Chain A
Amino acid sequence: MAALILLGFWLGRQAEQAHLISLETNEAQYQDLVLSNSKALPVSAQQPAHSELISASVVIASDAFKNFLATLISILGGRIDVYEALRERARREALLRLRAAAAARGAQCVINVRIETHDISLSSVEAFAYGTALRYHTPGV
């Protein structure tokens, strides 16, 4: 049991670090693609050529060590920072995939972005992001 938890700690940390690095790399790739959670058009005078609803999601599992730590903290009280980090990673990944989906459709930005985060099971979380992707005639708005 302790061995499983230690294995979870080691492999879980590897997976988390790898994911954080990949998030940073890929987010840099899409930094010109603006996300907004307002309904306003980015440039109010300019009408986009095309708009469509897009969405993206990811389900990430926690590891045995995080679950063990979370159970401990929920008995003792306090912030469960291991789960905070997990949910935040899931949201970042979902938003990254939303950007990728927008870029694949030739869109320059996504407006009215909404994010849902909820549990799939006791130890995995889904982040779901959706919004309206806007494509303009002249790129680089």
Chain B
Amino acid sequence: MILTNIESVPGREILRQLGLVNGSTVRAKHLGRDMLSGLKNLVGGELVAYTELMQEAREEATSRMIEQARKLQADAVVNVRYSTSSVAQGAAEIYVYGTAVQLR
């Protein structure tokens, strides 16, 4: 599945638009054992475990969107946009959406 965040796939022609597809996950932003992060929050620096947590959440949301596109028998999803928002206490929702298309 080809993904782009522009309105086309450069070099390919869009035959037909199949509709909006999306994927989302809601993940707790905090890990179970926060001891190391507590130390990092004292002295600053990258929180690698949190970076990976958010990356995984985005990959999950993106694969759900790709699955929707596959069901429509799309060749690509164009104009992909991500949206991240805080939900309730200490959770984040990753929402990704785009337009599924058939290519020539």
Contacts and interface: CB of A to CB of B under 8 A. Distances in A.
Q: Do A and B bind each other?
A: yes
Interface of A: 4, 7-8, 11-12, 15-16, 19, 39, 41, 47-49, 51-53, 55, 57-64, 66, 93, 111-112, 114, 116, 118-121, 123-124, 126, 128, 130-132, 134
A123 B41 contact: yes
Given A47-B10, A134-B10, A59 B51 contact: yes
Which DSSP category, helix, strand, loop or mixed, fits chain B's interface? mixed
A11 B40 CA distance: 10
B42 interface: yes
Interface of B: 2-7, 9-11, 29-30, 37, 40-48, 50-51, 54-55, 58, 80-86, 90, 92
Contact of B82 (A112, A116, A119): A116
B6 A12 contact: no
A61 B51 contact: no
Which DSSP category, helix, strand, loop or mixed, fits chain A's interface? strand
A124 B41 contact: yes
A57 B54 contact: yes
A57 B51 contact: yes
A114 B96 CA distance: 13
Given A12-B44, A52-B3, A61-B41, A120 B82 contact: no
6 contacts: A8-B42, A51-B11, A116-B84, A124-B47, A126-B51, A128-B84
B6 A112 contact: yes
Q: Sort A-B residue pairs by CB-CB distance and give the 9 closest, nearest first.
A: A63-B44, A53-B3, A11-B43, A59-B50, A12-B44, A47-B11, A59-B47, A59-B51, A132-B4
